[in-house]
Amino acid sequence: MTALLQVRNVTVRFGANTAVDDVSLEIEPGTIVGLIGPNGAGKTTLFNVIAGIQHSVAGSVHFEGRDITHAPPHVRAHRGIARTFQRLETFGTLTVQENVLVGAEARGGRGAAGRHAQELAKELCRKFNLDGIADERADSLATGTQRLVEMARALATGPRLLLLDEASSGLTSFETKEVATTLRALADDGLTIVLVEHDMSFVMGLCDRIAMLERGSLVADGTPEEVSHMPAVIEAYLGSEHKAGAAS
């Protein structure tokens, strides 16, 4: 299967600090890939390179076979890449539905599958259980709920690739399970999802594949089962007790 996204030998430096060091990834269509690693590992920086927000000093990014390394963010969005941010980026003075409508109206350039933008916004509010608060201002909502609004708005643009930065942060356990179910259904329908995440139970239960960055380098890559037995992941997330238990 041809990869939807190809990240080839990407390196990012901030002064003398190498934030991403010669990282290569290939993401296949319809899969959910988790990007994990400790704080400062380079996860969000790599996301920013894929989205066009951050330039790399080396390497390339290809999407659907096209080189988009030097394409600006709006061009990548038009081609089908959407993302959410670790720091909330909702439009605070707009209602929940109006936030989602912004994405739905942006989708117009690529077609809304015969549906009016208002109908699409309402549908996505229902999908994320936001229909009951659709008329409330986004800045009046809890952090977790605003994350759901961001996800719905990103999906309203009709992406082929969805980048989620800390998707489960601030969500209740019930909301986390609901989001996992929704994301799995979207992937089963063909959407490709890459998520930066610290919640290991969320990642392990949802993702088809997990990649781990440490100090800017890719140190683990495989299925959840494979990655859970890799020394770098055990050391960083599962602890020495797990390591000792696995050896006994």
Domain CATH number, residue 239: 3.40.50.300
Arithmetic mean of pLDDT, 221-237: 90
State the pLDDT at residue 89. 85
Residues 165 and 242 in one domain: yes
| Locus of tokens 């041809």 | 2
Query: Are 227 and 119 contained in the same domain?
Result: no
Q: By residue range, what is the domain housing residue 113?
A: 90-157
Mean pLDDT over 115-126 rounds to 88
Q: Is residue 110 part of a domain?
A: yes
C-alpha span between 115 and 133 (Å, rounded): 22
Helices (H), the chain: 43-51, 73-79, 96-106, 117-127, 143-156, 173-188, 200-206, 224-227, 231-233, 239-247
Tell me how far CA of residue 92 lies from CA of 99, 119, 130, 170, 175, in angstroms.
9, 22, 15, 17, 21
* pLDDT reported for residue 137: 96
60 Cβ contact partners less than 8 Å away, ≥ 6 residues apart = 6, 7, 8, 9, 10, 67, 69
The pLDDT value given to residue 248: 33
Q: Is 205 domain-assigned?
A: yes
Return the pLDDT at 105: 86
Together in a domain, 109 and 60: no
44-54 residues labelled b (16+ CB within 10 A) or e (exposed): bbbbbbbbbeb
Is 85 among the domain residues? no
Q: Which of 157, 183, 212 is the last residue of a domain?
A: 157
Q: Are residues 30 and 152 in the same domain?
A: no
